[in-house]
Chains A and B, each alone.
Chain A
């Protein structure tokens, strides 16, 4: 009793002493980070928000003298039939390539790697990681070369007597989902491998003694234990996928028509192809909101999970 009491007391006093005596000094290392956040994060957001309230253009009178037009851009945007289409495509792209593609495939690969032979996992690991290491523009050209009308895929299909379609034209959304899944899976795989390594062996062993099969162990033991990792990873890949531009632009340019125009592509087209910077900014703001909705969803799921365990 006597030994524990004073020890607790000193810990408390020391902690509060530090925080009381050296507050400005402790905040100092945060200044560069805070400054960077302000310049590169708050700055662009405020700039985009302000820009979306003007009719600024790339050329013409509205470039020389942009006017503040309030919410007109948003009124126009919400009346534009392209917006729901584009949001739908963006959500499909994120769900298809980030949530299902990268996450599920990454988890499956990570699980398989634990049971596979060393040589096989080594080779597959290198192949998967290669896609992730490539710059986006290179990955985009590879995606184009693979899926275009006279691309690698159709050459292989022709080898077995099948005439493949022009995937980029006939199935543009599927094509970019495949390409983004291919490109991003390695990240999820590595995160999940690290998480699976952290699951204590004795828990798994005791469940085996209790008679749990492989599927039951995964569903009832492993997945709940790596739950925080799953949500963190979902959030990271979602937000990353939401901002994919180069890959889509190189592969389909958002077309045919608007059939693969995600929000970043639509914003770019409006701002720089049509020269309507203000309207492009309004789309960027919608994208910001969509990203926030996904993030809040994940954070809430994470909290809910955390309080239960």
Chain B
């Protein structure tokens, strides 16, 4: 009986680690030297990467006799995928040779010693110069070396339903110039179509990184002079920011006025499925902020095929707070391929990555996963430019885009921001209280010497 309290502790902290780590524990074995294990994310609504890697596996195995590529998809949300990957990277017994890695984890995983330095290999790969300069930096560690190769990038824009805006008397094509324009349009939609959700923006920890990338940062980076989370020049995190309070206040308004989905739906990690699977196709939503990859949900073979989307939907840049310059705000991220620092087949691992990223495969992936191309030859390809009606507008958003301060403190700070949004939309804290709690959390995470008051 006395054993039970310890079982309690073991369950929560040790067993979980073992179980989670164990999920991929059988995968890292490549002692025979000719097996390349590849870990990546695959879900019902995200199969493009699985198809890409399967193609690359066939090509690679045909070119390299005796070599086996072992694909190990993980079905999980992005957050859980990250946790499981990091747990398996912690030990040479469980680390995969090649894996799919979010750009925002690159720096912290480099610091943890998980990623293989690719500089030497890239020097001998002539196609590397095809990649555009900004994309090359996405996989850089703080030491300036490259540790991960970009699969594509993305931007964020407003996706709006023209039928809903038309019915509300909002002029289409729509381009809001300030936050107030969004609220005005939302009020008109609510007045004319009571059953429609006027303008949704993600909030809370349920939607994880989506909350900040496709909602909060569009607001935050459009306040003041656009400094956002992190002051690059000072190398410090921004606290006591009026922009932070204003951004939270805007979310609070959206939710309390009933312009967004109800708070309990917002906290459901799968709310986006309702947004793109039901609400937009059924004219039940005015607009939302989402990534440039959105058409991949609606394309044939996507999660929610919707042939008419090109006619019904429109895109607009997210405006700055009061319409101050630049003309809009976007955020960019993207995913990469990286190799484990623990791999015993580094040469094969790198060669496999270059197979995945060759021109033919990159073009296929850019089109089928609606990525913004990072190879200049792919970006100039006519089939890429015609892939969907929105390739042009979402690529233009690159001009006003921002990148997250993806250093090793960032993942924790991101969660603190998500918690602030959740506290505000559920009414647990006011915008000012939530912002103050965020300031405390940042000081806790990075220390007083690494913050700057704005």
B61-99 vs A, Cβ < 8 Å mask (1 yes, 0 no): 000000000000000000100010011001000000000
Chain B residues whose CB sits within 8 angstroms of the CB of A263 once the complex forms: 12
Minimum C-beta distance from A22 to chain B (A): 28
Given A256-B267, A273-B415, A276-B412, A264 contacting B11 (CB threshold 8 A): yes
Within 8 Å of chain A (Cβ to Cβ): is B7?
A: yes
A41 touches B422 (CB 8 A): no
A272 touches B83 (CB 8 A): yes
Within 8 Å of chain A (Cβ to Cβ): is B137?
A: no
Q: Which of B7, B13, B264, B408 contacts A61 (CB 8 A)?
A: B408
B444 touches A76 (CB 8 A): yes
Within 8 Å of chain A (Cβ to Cβ): is B111?
A: yes
A288 touches B9 (CB 8 A): yes
Q: Which of B11-43 contact A (CB under 8 A)?
A: 11-17, 20
Q: State the main secondary structure of chain B at its contact with A.
A: helix
B16 touches A243 (CB 8 A): no
Given A59-B111, A257-B423, A287-B8, A273 contacting B79 (CB threshold 8 A): yes
> How far is B114's CA from A44's CA once the two chains are assembled, in angstroms?
25
Stretch from A13-21, A156-164, A182-190, A233-241 contacting the other chain: A233-241
> How far is B412's CA from A272's CA once the two chains are assembled, in angstroms?
11
A64 touches B9 (CB 8 A): no
Most chain A beta-carbon contacts within 10 A, residue among B4, B79, B205 = B4
Chain B residues whose CB sits within 8 angstroms of the CB of A284 once the complex forms: 9, 12-13
Stretch from A45-53, A106-114, A126-134 contacting the other chain: A45-53
B264 touches A245 (CB 8 A): no
Q: Which of B11, B109, B206 contacts A253 (CB 8 A)?
A: B206
Within 8 Å of chain A (Cβ to Cβ): is B307?
A: no
> How far is B2's CA from A244's CA once the two chains are assembled, in angstroms?
17
Chain B residues whose CB sits within 8 angstroms of the CB of A61 once the complex forms: 111-112, 408
> How far is B5's CA from A41's CA once the two chains are assembled, in angstroms?
10
B12 touches A60 (CB 8 A): no
Given A48-B14, A243-B8, A272 contacting B426 (CB threshold 8 A): no
Q: Which of A245-281 contact B (CB under 8 A)?
A: 245, 253, 255-257, 263-264, 267-268, 271-277, 280-281
Q: Which of A58, A76, A149, A294 contacts B86 (CB 8 A)?
A: A58
> How far is B20's CA from A48's CA once the two chains are assembled, in angstroms?
17
Q: Which of A154-189 contact B (CB under 8 A)?
A: 166, 168-170
Within 8 Å of chain A (Cβ to Cβ): is B411?
A: yes
Interface residues on B, range: 35 or more
Interface residues on A, range: 35 or more
A268 touches B105 (CB 8 A): no
Within 8 Å of chain B (Cβ to Cβ): is A215?
A: no
A243 touches B11 (CB 8 A): yes
> How far is B422's CA from A253's CA once the two chains are assembled, in angstroms?
13
Minimum C-beta distance from B449 to chain A (A): 16
> How far is B274's CA from A149's CA once the two chains are assembled, in angstroms?
14
Chain A residues whose CB sits within 8 angstroms of the CB of B265 once the complex forms: 149
Chain A residues whose CB sits within 8 angstroms of the CB of B419 once the complex forms: 257
Q: Which of B111, B204, B412 contacts A274 (CB 8 A)?
A: B412
Within 8 Å of chain B (Cβ to Cβ): is A242?
A: yes
A274-309 vs B, Cβ < 8 Å mask (1 yes, 0 no): 111100110111011001101100000000000000
Within 8 Å of chain A (Cβ to Cβ): is B191?
A: no
Q: Which residue of B lies closest to A280 (CB)?
A: B13
B13 touches A236 (CB 8 A): no
> How far is B3's CA from A149's CA once the two chains are assembled, in angstroms?
39
> How far is B419's CA from A280's CA once the two chains are assembled, in angstroms?
18
A59 touches B408 (CB 8 A): yes
Chain B residues whose CB sits within 8 angstroms of the CB of A253 once the complex forms: 205-206, 269
Given A41-B6, A60-B108, A60-B112, A51 contacting B13 (CB threshold 8 A): yes
Q: Which of B2, B108, B267 contacts A169 (CB 8 A)?
A: B267
Q: Which of B20, B415, B422 contacts A255 (CB 8 A)?
A: B422
Chain B residues whose CB sits within 8 angstroms of the CB of A271 once the complex forms: 13, 16-17
Within 8 Å of chain B (Cβ to Cβ): is A71?
A: no
A257 touches B83 (CB 8 A): no
**Interface CB pairs A-B, < 8 A, 7:** A41-B3, A64-B113, A239-B7, A243-B12, A255-B206, A257-B422, A257-B428
Since A45-B10, A280-B13, A284-B12 are in contact, a sample of 12 more A-B pairs with Cβ atoms closer than 8 Å, ordered by chain A residue number, is A44-B13, A44-B14, A48-B10, A48-B14, A58-B90, A59-B109, A61-B408, A76-B444, A239-B4, A245-B11, A256-B263, A291-B9
List of 10 A-B pairs having minimum Cβ-Cβ separation, nearest first: A291-B5, A169-B264, A60-B408, A239-B4, A63-B112, A243-B8, A44-B10, A284-B13, A60-B108, A64-B113
